[in-house]
Structure 1
């Protein structure tokens, strides 16, 4: 071998060894730093049906990356300083996510770190060839809870409306209020599990995969991917309609157990079938005659083919070294965060909340098990309070969340009220300081269903704050996680009936009178009650007074 060729071969071997060593160190650092995020993500995959497809996403992403290895091997790998710059952003996002106890930030920071590492190794040209593998990983990340619930509630309402239309096609009399389907003898509620999200998320990931490997024009690819949303809504609505029809003729058993689960599996397979027919239709429209197997590219290179490719240049990669050093510098911070526990404040539980106070007499009620499972909070109270001689009660409801770090999150009434068939006819923020309730601002809702009307007050009790804006509550959840190591919070809601012909001012007076009597003792039960302890006040003051 000529001396120059031997020297080039030795340089390439040394450069490759150094590159893979640095890459191995960076991968080890990533695994350690983001380990808690991996654990939380896998927990959601295992326990939330809508994300059960998450286990398959990394495997498919690796396949998409493997398809592009020949192009990467033949490419000159050039350092790109965009990689270290993105790595700084990924580490900052991880730190903020861990400190604020919001894993959604940690999850997306992990994806950003993978992109940063890829650009550091292959450069921008290499990343452009493998972008689909990284984008596909987005489908493994669970949505933020407040977005998930908002999307679920809208899909429930849409699916209910279309499902009822299907039932009516069979000549069946049906009435709907919100997401409740009334068949007369039976009532079916389109709960969160029937929203269609269990189809939407995996079908969208499958649609993206098909669109990417599809051999056709870009407008076909976009049509295939976006159609998964429409297909999911229509097929899930059809499923709800079929359940309603079968319940009408064969009883409530048709909506329960194995048949319900089988219908769900069958509908998902039908969604895949419709997606496949759409691909064939798109090709028929443009007059393209091709077999189904020719429409998608699932080819992959063999190891022999990869070895036969002449590799591009592998120079000393300063960008990769910089990214690896940044990850290594983050390790001590990760060790510190691992020892950091979320602070749980002292407070009284609602089991001790008084049902007798002054002239008020309360009667407590229990939420159904499936509702408690969906809302996922450790403590709550729901009770109807009446004053002696007053026939109209005040419904008092508080949901307390000890932690909103993993999955649990406050459920806004503005999202769930329409699901019960109620229409919101007015929303205002009211300062009750002039009513003897200094520092208390509430959201005031007028809601109606048919001839029935109700007045609603609600606010978010967030670590000593009274908040009426849902998005501001999310911001304080983030900031308090950083500064106070807390993510506890509560929703406080009061509801009273407004009978036909009654002045709504009377309903306002009823809720405000209840608050004047009970609001002074609420801090003992709401987030922020432990502030008294930090000021040196005797903890016995937190106990409820004898009423």
Structure 2
């Protein structure tokens, strides 16, 4: 708790914030919630649909509580509007607009939430806002970010578990993130990735470090530990679950009890980490008081600040309102009401029966095409998923879109980048090998975005944003070629390369015809 200065000093230097100023500040900070209501809904939607981010509901109350703990600062450092912050607010607004154009939801959400600390900087000034840095920046934990870590965390957990089980002396047969022990089969899926533990640990660790330590070094060290510890702990958790199942003949830790055990284990790990961290806690000290000699200037500046506050509130609201208005105009101009009619792909190779029941794990497209062809000695299947008028629920490029679902029968066991050419356009595409107990396929996947080919999601998003900025719409498609795989990579690659070389022009014509057809 902060120590209060002597009454005489407080009365001399303090400039209590008036009710009118408080009302104006609250109004300015509430305005973005209404102006960016779509982004607010997208954040809440993820909170509601994913237990990983359910903690988002408590972030704002915690941030407000942290500000309340430092309420004396509003008297020590009276709000003094700072116009340069409006430029930074405009940069965030432009970033939000670019993310909207590219349908990059997480960037839209981060730029929106970041507007609140910057708006506070504009309204309060550097000194007061600086004294509230952590409470304001803590709001960023409300953004549901972390899905990008699921795949690498799954891979690490599988690697760690298999290594630990083998080190115990138990034979393991592994295929990707699935493995078999003499007593049964196991698979590391999304729920086992530990991403929930990681996000919860980082959030709690940051809050604990802020409340417990004063030195930046100790805070950074503890936050770093809160990132590393849950990853290692999740590997140990997975190993112990497998061992419990193995030693019990697959009767224990194979159902809901394994989830319960996981959270109990995580809770114990966090308790121990916080308990150890408490040995190095540092008492919070009071902020330094302004020198009595600065009293006249302080009072004069504090008196002038309220006169500038209404203008700054208007500036904050106008800057925040400009970008949603521009986005609304662009959305209406880019909207294409015509239904998608996928043009015929004039493939010259003969059609043949499909050779696999694989389907990509993608958001539902506006149009879908799938057909197998006999291309030389191997059949090749062509899959096209076409999107138009994209939104968060129907998006070509998303972390939710993968060659296979985490719980699908098909499982990606190998992946690589490969340079190829489509209709004379060079690109680096994704090569993946997918397996089931019945067989395997090799898949080449890439994107077509408004006439441009790319294998990079980041480049694809840039093309999408550029096309929408030029009012050319957001048409795009995912293209996948698949071939039976018998562990002969060169044979499979040769078949895919030949098909792409022979049919690439027909594919390009079909995609462009679909885009221009009204």
- TM-score tier after normalising by the smaller chain length: 0.7 to 0.9
Say yes or no: does 1:511 pair with 2:510. Answer: no
Q: Shift in Å at residue 384 of structure 1? A: 8.0
Q: Residue 430 of structure 1 corresponds to which residue in structure 2?
A: 420
Residue equivalent to 1:533: 517
1:326 match: secondary structure: helix
Aligned to 1:324, which of 309, 313, 321? 313
Query: Structure 2 vs 1, CA of residues 420 and 524 (structure 1 numbering), >3 Å: closer, same or farther?
Result: same
Quickly say closer, same or farther: Cα 1:389–1:492, change in 2 above 3 A: closer
Partner of 1:347: 340
In 2, are the aligned partners of 1:448 and 1:454 still within 8 Å (CA)? yes
CA distance 1:328–1:214, change in 2 (3 Å): closer
What do the CA deviations read for 1:276-322 (whole angstroms, capped 9, x no partner)? 23314x53xxxxxxxxxx767699xxxxxxxxxxx963434466444
Contact 1:157/1:419 (<8 A) preserved:
no
* Counterparts of residues 388-407 of structure 1 (less than 5 Å): 390=377, 392-401=378-387, 405-406=391-392
- Could you tell me how far apart the structure 1 residues matched to 2:430 and 2:105 are? 32
Which residue in the other structure is 1:360 paired with?
351
For residues 403 and 434 of structure 2, what CA distance do their matches in structure 1 show?
Answer: 14
Residue 496 (str. 1) matches residue 492 (str. 2): no
Alpha carbons of 1:456 and 1:102: their partners in 2 closer, same or farther (altered >3 Å)?
closer
C-alpha distance 199-399 of structure 1, shift in aligned 2 (>3 A): farther
CA contact (8 A) 2:85 2:121 kept: yes
**What's the CA shift for 1:16?**
2.6
Corresponding residue for 2:124? Answer: 122
Shift of residue 361, structure 1, vs aligned partner: 0.4
Once the two structures are superposed, residues 351-388 of structure 1 have per-residue CA deviations (whole angstroms, 9 ceiling, x without a partner) of x999x9753303175558xx84xx43447869783639
CA shift for structure 1 position 199: 1.0
Runs (5+) with no aligned partner, structure 1: 1-7, 284-293, 300-310, 535-547
Counterpart among 163, 166, 169 of residue 168 in structure 1? 166
Whether the aligned pair in 1 keeps the contact of 2:94 and 2:323 (CA below 8 Å) is no
In 2, the alpha carbon distance for the partners of 1:204 and 1:38 equals 23
* Alignment of structure 1 residues 40-439 onto 2, 5 Å: 40-143=42-145, 148-149=147-148, 151-184=149-182, 186-215=184-213, 217-250=215-248, 254=252, 257-280=255-278, 283=280, 313-317=302-306, 320-329=309-318, 331=321, 334=324, 337-338=327-328, 340=331, 343=335, 346-348=339-341, 358-363=349-354, 366=357, 372=361, 375-378=362-365, 385=372, 387=374, 390=377, 392-401=378-387, 405-406=391-392, 408=395, 409-410=397-398, 411=401, 420-422=412-414, 424=416, 427-431=417-421, 437-439=423-425
In 1, Cα distance between the equivalents of 2:241 and 2:489? 43
In the TM superposition, residue 510 of structure 1 has moved relative to its aligned partner by 2.1
Shift of 1:201: 0.9
Once residues 130 and 438 of structure 1 are traced to their aligned partners in structure 2, the CA distance between those partners, rounded to angstroms, is: 56
Paired residues of 2:213 and 2:283 also in contact (CA < 8 A): yes
Measure the CA separation in 2 of the matches of 1:50 and 1:271: 18
> 2:134 & 2:215 partners in 1: Cα distance?
17
1:275, CA displacement in angstroms? Answer: 1.7
TM-score, normalised to structure 2, is: 0.77
Deviation at 1:200?
Answer: 0.8
Q: Deviations over 1:413-434 (max 9, x none)?
A: 7999x9733264xx442235xx
Per the alignment, do residues 431 and 334 of structure 1 end up closer, same or farther by CA in structure 2, a change over 3 Å counting? closer
Which residue is equivalent to 1:287? none
Gaps of 5+ in 2: 1-10, 287-297
Q: C-alpha distance in 2, partners of 1:337/1:444?
A: 33
CA distance in 1, matches of 2:137, 2:318: 27
Q: Does the C-alpha gap of structure 1 residues 194 and 349 become closer, same or farther in structure 2, counting only changes over 3 Å?
A: farther
Q: Which moved more, 1:51-60 or 1:202-211?
A: 51-60
Paired positions, count: 479
Question: Using the alignment, how far apart are the partners of 1:524 and 1:192 within structure 2?
Answer: 39
- 1:401 positional shift: 4.9
Structure 2 CA distance for partners of 1:389 and 1:440, relative to 1, 3 Å: closer
TM-score (norm 1): 0.73
Distance 2:27 2:182 in 1: 65
CA contact (8 A) 2:430 2:455 kept: no
- Asked whether 1:473 is paired with 2:457, we answer no
Q: CA deviation at 1:237?
A: 1.0
Match of 1:459 in 2: 446
- What is the Cα deviation at residue 54 of structure 1? 0.8
Using a 3 Å threshold, how does the CA distance of structure 1 residues 218 and 324 change in structure 2: closer, same or farther? Answer: closer
For residue 100 of structure 1, report the CA deviation from its aligned partner: 4.3
Deviation at 1:66, TM superposition (A): 1.0
How far does residue 44 in structure 1 lie from its aligned partner after superposition?
0.9
Q: Give the CA deviation at 1:161.
A: 1.2
